[in-house]
A = this chain, B = another copy of it.
Amino acid sequence: MTIKPMPAFEPPYVMAVFSSVRTAEDSGYPETLARMNELVREIPGFLGYDSARTPGGLGITVGYFRDHDALAQWRQDLEHQAAMEQGRAEWYESYTLHVATVERSRGFERNG
């Protein structure tokens, strides 16, 4: 399967950029990540996400949502809230979250 970024959705939509540096603590992290991946897909209005991490460096996850209501529903999910709390307690050295409305977007695909 070819890896591809999420496409350019029809604006306006909402984008949450989570830029983070991890601690060395990995206990429970992959399992929680997999569970969050599963949970977020149940949110109506969740469009998808892109994620990248430089080994030993910065990680960036970008979540795309149809509107602010969809993102609010994700933010208010209790299992997600518990995961965020555990993230601050154990898994993240530092992070920044930017919540934004996308006004325009475009995609490029070779031979696409």
Contact among B19, B20, B52, B98 with A59 in the assembled complex (CB-CB below 8 Å): B52
Contact B96 A5 (CB under 8 A): yes
Q: How far is the CB of A40 from chain B (nearest CB, A)?
A: 17
Assign chain A's interface to a size class: 35 or more
Bound form: Cα–Cα A108–B19 in Å = 10
Contact B106 A94 (CB under 8 A): no
Contact B103 A102 (CB under 8 A): no
Closest to A109 in B: B94
- Enumerate chain B residues within 8 angstroms of A108, measured Cβ to Cβ: 88, 92, 94-96
Residues of A within 8 A of B (CB): 2-8, 15, 17, 19-21, 23, 50-55, 57-60, 62, 64, 88, 92-110, 112
A51-B58, A51-B60, A101-B101 given; name 10 further pairs at CB < 8 Å. A4-B94, A5-B96, A6-B19, A8-B97, A17-B50, A17-B62, A50-B96, A64-B98, A88-B108, A96-B106
